Amino acid sequence: MLDYEAMSGASMQSDTQQIALGLRQGDVVVLESLVERYQYRLVRYLIYLLGRRDGVDDLVQETWLRVLERGSSYDGQARFEPWLFRVARNIAVDAMRRRRTLGLESNDDDGIRQAPASDEASPFTSAAQTEDADRLARALETLDPGYREALVLRFQEDLSLQEISAIVGAPVSTVASRIYKGLATLRHQFEEKQHEH
């Protein structure tokens, strides 16, 4: 796996150029390496975005097919991750709209909203590996998806505000505000949980 932080700017540029070339040519080897490299991160991003595990695999599959189909639109000038997450987000938003049209979810003007209450166990509770993560799980479940998305992109994917802004299609100031509010909510609930213990 490539570590972007350890790579120089030039070699990162060369890596992204190779990805762009591979996508333009529909190169299976390049696609395979991208799937290997980004699959877990894609799954994690979609879980944070949707707040559920159910249906994420289908969206992942659809995302990669869209990457193959629209790969020529990635020019290799910037990092691949923001472009990939943008594709995944569009797929997820379309899927949510389809579900709403079918009456499976409540109406809202934004593409991504709260996941419906379901019998499915929280993906965060079942994925928590540490005591702190366990404390955060419940708070994440009820957190606004827009905040959750901004938090995962900033603190798990280490993307800049500009990159997140390009993914979510919102101004940088809005993204920053979502991060502050998300952090404030989690901090508050985290402290409450600590006092309970």
Partner 1 sequence: MNINQHESFQHMIDESLAGAISPEREQSLREHLNTCAPCQVYLSATNRVVAGLGGFSFEVDSMLNARVLASLKRNVQPAQAPQPSRQWALIIIAAGALTMGGSFVDLQFGSLIASVFDLQRTQLRQELLAFWIVPSLCVLLLFPLLPLLSKAGIHREDREERTV
Binding residues for partner 1, per CB under 8 A?
26, 28, 31-32, 35-36, 39-40, 43-44, 47, 53, 57, 60-61, 64-65, 68-69, 123-124, 126-130, 132-137, 151-152, 154-156, 160-161, 172, 176, 179-180, 183-184, 186-187, 190-191
Buried-state track 117-127, b at ≥16 Cβ within 10 A, e below 16: eeeeebbbeee
* Residue 170 beta carbon to partner 1: minimum distance, rounded to whole angstroms: 14
Find out whether 183 and 151 touch, Cβ atoms under 8 Å.
Answer: yes
* Closer residue to partner 1 in complex, CB, 37/86: 37
The CB-of-143 to partner 1 minimum distance in angstroms stands at 11
Of 57 and 75, CB closest to partner 1: 57
Q: How far, CA to CA in Å, does 5 sit from each of 8, 59, 148, 159?
A: 8, 28, 24, 12
Looking at the Cβ atoms of 11 and 72, the one nearer to partner 1 is 72
Q: How far apart are CA 94 and CA 113, in angstroms?
A: 13
| Least distance in angstroms from the C-beta of 85 to partner 1 | 16
Q: What is the dihedral of CA 63, 148, 55, 24, to 10 degrees?
A: 0
